[in-house]
Amino acid sequence: MLSPRLERLVQLLVIYSVVMLIVEIDWTSAEHSHAAPPFFLWSERLVALFFTFEMVLRWQSLPHATFTEKLRTTFGRPEGWFDVLAILPFWLGFFLPAEALSVVRTTRVFRLAKLYRYSPTAHAIVAALWRAREKIRVVGVMVLMTVLFGSLVMYELERKAQPEAFGSVADSAWWCVVTVTTVGYGDVSPVTPLGKVVAAFLMPFVLAVMGAFIGIVGGAFQDVADEPE
Amino acid sequence: MLSPRLERLVQLLVIYSVVMLIVEIDWTSAEHSHAAPPFFLWSERLVALFFTFEMVLRWQSLPHATFTEKLRTTFGRPEGWFDVLAILPFWLGFFLPAEALSVVRTTRVFRLAKLYRYSPTAHAIVAALWRAREKIRVVGVMVLMTVLFGSLVMYELERKAQPEAFGSVADSAWWCVVTVTTVGYGDVSPVTPLGKVVAAFLMPFVLAVMGAFIGIVGGAFQDVADEPE
Amino acid sequence: MLSPRLERLVQLLVIYSVVMLIVEIDWTSAEHSHAAPPFFLWSERLVALFFTFEMVLRWQSLPHATFTEKLRTTFGRPEGWFDVLAILPFWLGFFLPAEALSVVRTTRVFRLAKLYRYSPTAHAIVAALWRAREKIRVVGVMVLMTVLFGSLVMYELERKAQPEAFGSVADSAWWCVVTVTTVGYGDVSPVTPLGKVVAAFLMPFVLAVMGAFIGIVGGAFQDVADEPE
Amino acid sequence: MLSPRLERLVQLLVIYSVVMLIVEIDWTSAEHSHAAPPFFLWSERLVALFFTFEMVLRWQSLPHATFTEKLRTTFGRPEGWFDVLAILPFWLGFFLPAEALSVVRTTRVFRLAKLYRYSPTAHAIVAALWRAREKIRVVGVMVLMTVLFGSLVMYELERKAQPEAFGSVADSAWWCVVTVTTVGYGDVSPVTPLGKVVAAFLMPFVLAVMGAFIGIVGGAFQDVADEPE
């Protein structure tokens, strides 16, 4: 653990860093950080340098003697991985071509994961999802099977009528996911009479499977919200 | 408290005022109240005058001696603020340019808040939401984080393919909200293969977070409905 | 009560009547029953005659002496009204202009209500909804208020940008209902930045109110399904 | 029961067979297996031959003497039907015209049903759905009635205004299903004022019926997920 004031500074810099990311994208419309006003570039460099410095400090504050023990403690918890994830894209940026800089900039959003260290709620959610992992796996397999089945059937029924929307099993799976979550954008929907009939009878059942999945994952979140009351 | 008959009149005038608002807009198609038939303008003036008079009456009926005490009692409850909100736009209208008069007219809908005083159900809902405030805050932060994360990732994946739909993080956030609530208008949806794959895997989880939020807020409403049974 | 065989015949004729309605519409594409092949017209006439005859039989089988008592018993239960609803459009058809004959034909679907008499489930649902009437009323008022509020606010924000979609409060209310039920056809959706921001913050809350309403009504149906287990 | 190693091989071949189906469709874009590279055709022939051989082995391993008893045991469980379903399309393919070969290929997805034999979860789901069959039937009838009613009413209200979308009761039923599941593609939606008003009042109630149906089916899936915890 670092000093409370330093931890506070880390939290503030994470939020500052993500806010600056959105401001840089939406306000300057720059393609990547080198194309934006220099303020954003230097702000980012200072933040990344600070997070690197923070990692070094954390490493030295570990109460272990050997390098291997320190390594195991650091990467034995998600926090260690999140710290690396927060600065790796920045340092990789120096070795990447200019086209990749835009992706590098967006990866800054993963810095939000650093807040995980400070949030008892986030810890509780991960624990709740972990407890429900067997349920999630079982219903997750059901969802996958249903989506796979629905995709292949609808692919066969619709591909002749609308090759641009149901032209491959992957396209058909996209229809299936959009339908099963009841989002229903309308970019893809069955048009043949048989496709509509089959879809109409499939829907209530696949919705039920997906509903069970969302119920289980959402239940884990709700359990966490219930606890502090 | 005013006399029961006066309170009854206030309730009726609130409903009358909102009904007249809709009639004025949909039936006369007038841009603002001065462009509508004079009946609507004078009807509104009388109602606003009555509500101002009502505020004065309430003020005088307060069992306090000093001005400060009366002020504290009035604005210590939401009812006091709702009374001001019901007439403030009307009086401000005299000092505003003609372009703003349409907005002034629409703010009449806030007069519905005056009914709060008379509805034990509304009081119970506010109390239930207040009791659930910690839960709502916790899951609300989760929703915000998920929407923020989803927006930035999809912005990066889709902005090249459809700059008019995912041209900024704000646009991307609109997609995210529409998807997460399962409304899915279809005005914005991913078109790139990678965008679709990422969206397909993000959806079930963000839906679960949103489902937990809606479950908690909806639960507060349902608790209230359960009580009078 | 009529004899069991006659009751059975009534049930079969209700289903036959509705099936013939769909066949007539979708297979013959006739505008109304006089334009369809004579078989459909005569089939309908016989069915309507039988249902009229059935009403007379039920009336005579009532164990009352006076006309007023018979009237009170008949229309004191929904079944009496459903019997009238099943034949009234047919008899009215003789006095209506040809343009109305298509509507007359469609009203045959109300004959499904005659099945109410034979279904303990339907009786249980009506009883469950009746028990939940206070809840439904309370949350129904919330839904109405929220939809009214959302409609007027979005009308003001969007009418300038898209007068064809948000041209009146009624149009705006259609958007609100489609959004609140999460159906989201996409025929109407906010396009202005402010409209999107306000919609994004309104959605989770109005969805919660609607979710509570659907939860209460759906709960009544589910209670009924739980009982026979 | 076959030997554990053979059972393992069957499971692997099912997954291999479905994966190859998707690869063949999306990667080779071949219309049917004879148009694809020969590898896919021969791979399929070997898999189908193996599954036929597997059926023979299972038949011989049955501890019965007479043919009739073996037949009864085999087809007394879903597994027997799934085994036939897995190879029937392949053998039928030799007698079908070339146009049908594409459908034959897609039916390979039904081989997933062979995994049913090995999954205790799948057995538990079928058992849970079987236990809830009475509930599902009751609410299923409600859903059918509501969809039927909504379809006929909306057909009458909308067919004049948009004959291409509400041109038949079947088209109208498609609108009803898409709305009731809250998917809302937007390919069909009411446009007449009366149609919108009726739809707005129908929606919350039909959504509640559908919600009850999804809740019951989804509950059966969730019960299964709860058990192994």
pLDDT tens sequence across C171-185 = 899 999 999 888 889
Q: Write down the pLDDT at residue A1.
A: 65
Comparing CB atoms, the residue among C174, C213, C225 nearest residue D204 is C213
The dihedral formed by the CA atoms of B125, B127, B129 and B132, expressed in degrees to the nearest 10: -140
Q: How large is the average pLDDT for residues A207-227?
A: 78
Cβ-Cβ pairs closer than 8 A, A with B, add up to 101
Report the SS3 class of residue B105.
helix
Q: pTM higher than 0.90, yes or no?
A: no
Question: pLDDT value at position C121?
Answer: 79
- Specify whether the CB–CB gap between A73 and A64 falls below 8 A: yes
Flag the least confident range among B155-159, B180-184, D124-128: D124-128
D142 — contact with chain A (CB < 8 Å)? no
pLDDT tens for each residue of D121-163:
888 888 888 888 888 888 888 888 888 889 988 988 898 889 8
- Work out the angle at residue B206's Cα, subtended by the Cα atoms of residues B202 and B208, and round it to the nearest 5 degrees: 125
Query: What is the band of A145 on the pLDDT scale with cuts at 50, 70, 90?
Result: confident
pLDDT, position D229: 42
Average pLDDT of the segment spanning B188-202: 90
- A75 interfaces chain D, CB cutoff of 8 Å: no
Q: What is the per-residue DSSP string for A140-169?
A: HHHHHHHHHHHHHHHHHHHTTT-TTTSSSH
Shortest Cα distance, chain A CAs vs residue D53, angstroms:
25
Is the distance from CB of B91 to CB of B51 less than 8 angstroms? no
Checking if the pLDDT of B136 tops 50, the result is yes
Inform me whether the C-beta atom of residue C173 falls under 8 Å from chain B C-beta atoms: no
Please report, as a single letter, which amino acid is at residue A117: R
Name the minimum distance, in Å, from the CA of C70 to any CA of chain D.
Answer: 31
Measured N-to-C along each axis, helices A4-23 and A38-61 cross at an angle, to the nearest 10 degrees, of 150
Q: Is B224 on the interface with C (CB under 8 A)?
A: yes
Cα–Cα distance measured from residue C126 to residue C136, given in angstroms and rounded to the nearest whole number = 13
Render the burial of B142-160: b for 16+ CB within 10 Å, e for the rest. bbebbbbbbbbbbbbbbbe
**A172-186, B58-72, C21-35, D197-211: which has the minimum mean pLDDT?**
C21-35
| Residues of C with Cβ-Cβ distance to B222 under 8 angstroms | 139, 212, 215-216
- Please, are residues C2 and D149 in contact by the beta-carbon 8 Å criterion? no
Our measurement of the distance from residue B3's CA atom to the centroid of its chain's CA atoms, rounded to an integer in Å, reads 30
Q: Side chain identity at A209, as an amino acid letter?
A: V
Q: Summarize the confidence of residues A117-138 as an average pLDDT.
A: 84
Query: Which of A 88-127 lie inside 8 A of B, CB atoms?
Result: 102-103, 106, 109, 112, 121, 125
**CB pairs < 8 Å spanning A and C:** 7
> Which pLDDT band, with edges at 50, 70 and 90, does C9 fall under?
very high
pLDDT of residue C229: 42
pLDDT band for position B229 (cuts 50, 70, 90): very low
Q: How far is CA D78 from CA A124, A204, B219, D122, D224, in A?
A: 43, 23, 42, 12, 19
State the ipTM, two decimals.
Answer: 0.82
Q: What is the pLDDT of residue A229?
A: 42
Residue B73 amino acid letter: T
pLDDT digits (tens, 9 = 90+) for B1-20: 678 899 999 999 999 998 88
CA distance A74 to A58: 9
Instruction: Look at D26 and A168 and tell me if their CB atoms are within 8 Å.
Output: yes
Give yes or no for C185 touching A (CB within 8 A). Answer: yes
Please check the confidence at residue B156 and state whether its pLDDT lies above 50: yes
